[in-house]
Chains A and B, each alone.
Chain A
Amino acid sequence: MKTYEAIVIGSSAGGMYALKNLIEGLKSGFRIPLIIVQHLSPHSENYLAHFLDQLGILQVKEADEREKIKQGYAYIAPPNFHLLIEADQTFSLTVEEKVNYARPSIDVLFETAASVYRERLIGIILTGANHDGANGVKVIKAHGGFTMAQNPATAESDIMPKAAIATGKIDKILDISEISDFLNSLNNS
């Protein structure tokens, strides 16, 4: 079985609780780093990282520029910055134009992660009301990675998972709890 080195997650409208449920479903000691873009207002503070960190399952923090990506951590893109991954598995940030009306953009994270982690990457699209992440899913697939989308029927907003599924490049469509179970099974193997 393949070893996965990183999991990238994109979420938008309704994402805060989807992320909470996903992380709560993970077993403590989950090792594979999660790297998350949640669309937020540009003026918001790093409340989301704090909120998810308090669940006590993973160490959750806002990603810093030049920071090395480590196991057992979940990283959140800071509001109003794009989050990119460099070849040496560190983060970089940019303030360039919005992509898909979003900064941070899910596509930017997914595309740069794909070229670093290639077939050892999982990309997950959760609830959201736009099309960000759809191109990123295609790029992950093209590099041999694995892709999942939240079941649109149980997503708070179904537009984003539907757009990802419409690319034809999604390997599994699952409810949040099933996504957590699936990730747990990878972590144990």
Chain B
Amino acid sequence: MNPSENPDFDDSILQLEMELLLEALVRQYGYDFRNYNKAHIKRRLIFRMQQLGLKSLSELQHQILHHSNILAMILKDLSINVTEMYRDPSFYLSLRKEVIPLLRTYPYLRIWHAGCATGEEVYSFAILLKEEGLYDRSQIYATDFNTEVLETAIKGIYPVSKIKEYTFNYQAAGGKNSFSDYYTARYDAVRFDPELRKNIVFASHNLVTDSVFAETHLIICRNVLIYFDRSLQNKVLNLFNDSLIMGGFLGLGSKENIMFSTVQDHFLILNPNEKIFQKKILK
């Protein structure tokens, strides 16, 4: 029986078990989910507990501590892996029209995709940079804490079933060519042109525990902050603020904002709908 359907099931015990499990994850492995939104974490942990036929989160904790394959599973459950190419095409259209002309004035560009998951949005933006003639002077850092999803990102191979939607998104995002110019299809998969990867460094980086990326011109971090509580959102936004050059840009997810955060005063709002911000130039 689903524990959440069991009337005798005690939420306060579940709460305690969840806190202990998250404590175990950070103490033993250094993965810190303690400041993630709890409703989401709870759903994911209970889902995994049921899939494994376990009766409590304490049992799940035991499995995590003693079986590395279970740890890998949990990290995948708790990381944010759902993404698509040109997710929210209007965001990319706005980058192209409002941010690219300003980035063009720099002799070289450092771009950081934080929380890139399986890399779809990294390739999306790499294509955009190529079409705008900025790719060759760009260095793109694409990071995620989950090394398993990074492996997928490095390969740049995605299911062919998604291509119709991605092509639609690419065009809506102001794509200038035929989208098929950028990939080769084979059987049920497409592989993006390895040339796109030339200036991309995929690396493991944990926003919760790792430090600043220096002198960045643009940070793209979409639909990651929504998983964090207010204190962790502030911490990460400060990390972004410290990583950006003055006048650098920050692109967040459509439901994310710097309003009400501790860095609010350090940024101008470039596009309020697309959540694109510019770090102020202090004289």
Contact = CB atoms under 8 A, between A and B. Distances in A.
Interface of A: 64-66, 78, 81, 84-87, 92-97, 108, 111-112, 114-115, 118, 135, 138-139, 142-144
A82 B263 CA distance: 27
Contacts of A112: 39, 42-43
Contacts of A96: 40, 44, 80, 82
A113 B10 CA distance: 16
B223 A95 contact: yes
Contacts of B255: 64-65, 78, 81, 93
Nearest to A66: B230
A114 B7 CA distance: 12
A141 B5 CA distance: 8
Contacts of B5: 138-139, 142
A88 B64 CA distance: 28
Q: Which 10 A-B pairs have the closest CB atoms?
A: A84-B39, A92-B37, A112-B39, A142-B5, A95-B223, A93-B226, A142-B7, A65-B226, A95-B82, A86-B39
Contacts of A144: 7
Given A94-B226, A115-B4, A115-B11, A86 B43 contact: no
Contacts of B40: 84, 92, 94, 96
B193 interface: no
B227 interface: yes
A108 B46 CA distance: 13
Given A92-B226, A111-B43, A114-B4, 19 more contacts: A64-B255, A65-B256, A81-B255, A85-B39, A86-B39, A92-B227, A94-B37, A94-B227, A95-B80, A95-B83, A95-B223, A95-B253, A96-B40, A111-B4, A112-B42, A135-B2, A139-B4, A142-B6, A143-B7
Nearest to A98: B82
B38 interface: yes
26 contacts: A64-B255, A65-B255, A84-B37, A84-B39, A86-B37, A86-B38, A87-B38, A87-B39, A92-B37, A93-B255, A94-B37, A95-B80, A95-B223, A95-B226, A96-B40, A108-B43, A111-B43, A112-B42, A114-B4, A115-B4, A115-B42, A118-B11, A138-B5, A139-B5, A142-B6, A143-B7
B80 A92 contact: no
Interface of B: 2, 4-7, 9, 11, 37-40, 42-44, 80, 82-83, 223, 226-227, 230, 253, 255-256
Contacts of B83: 95
Contacts of B44: 96
A64 B257 CA distance: 10
A134 B22 CA distance: 30
A67 to B, nearest CB: 10
Counting chain B CB atoms within 10 Å of each CB, the highest count among A93, A114, A144 belongs to A93
A115 B12 CA distance: 10
Nearest to B7: A142
A65 B37 CA distance: 10
Contacts of B82: 95-97
A8 B227 CA distance: 22
Contacts of B6: 142
Contacts of A93: 226, 255
A84 B226 CA distance: 11
A139 B11 CA distance: 13
A11 B171 CA distance: 32
A143 B9 CA distance: 9
Contacts of A139: 2, 4-5
Contacts of B226: 65, 81, 92-95
Nearest to A79: B254
B192 to A, nearest CB: 22
Contacts of A92: 37, 39-40, 226-227
Contacts of A142: 4-7, 9
A57 B280 CA distance: 42
Nearest to B9: A142
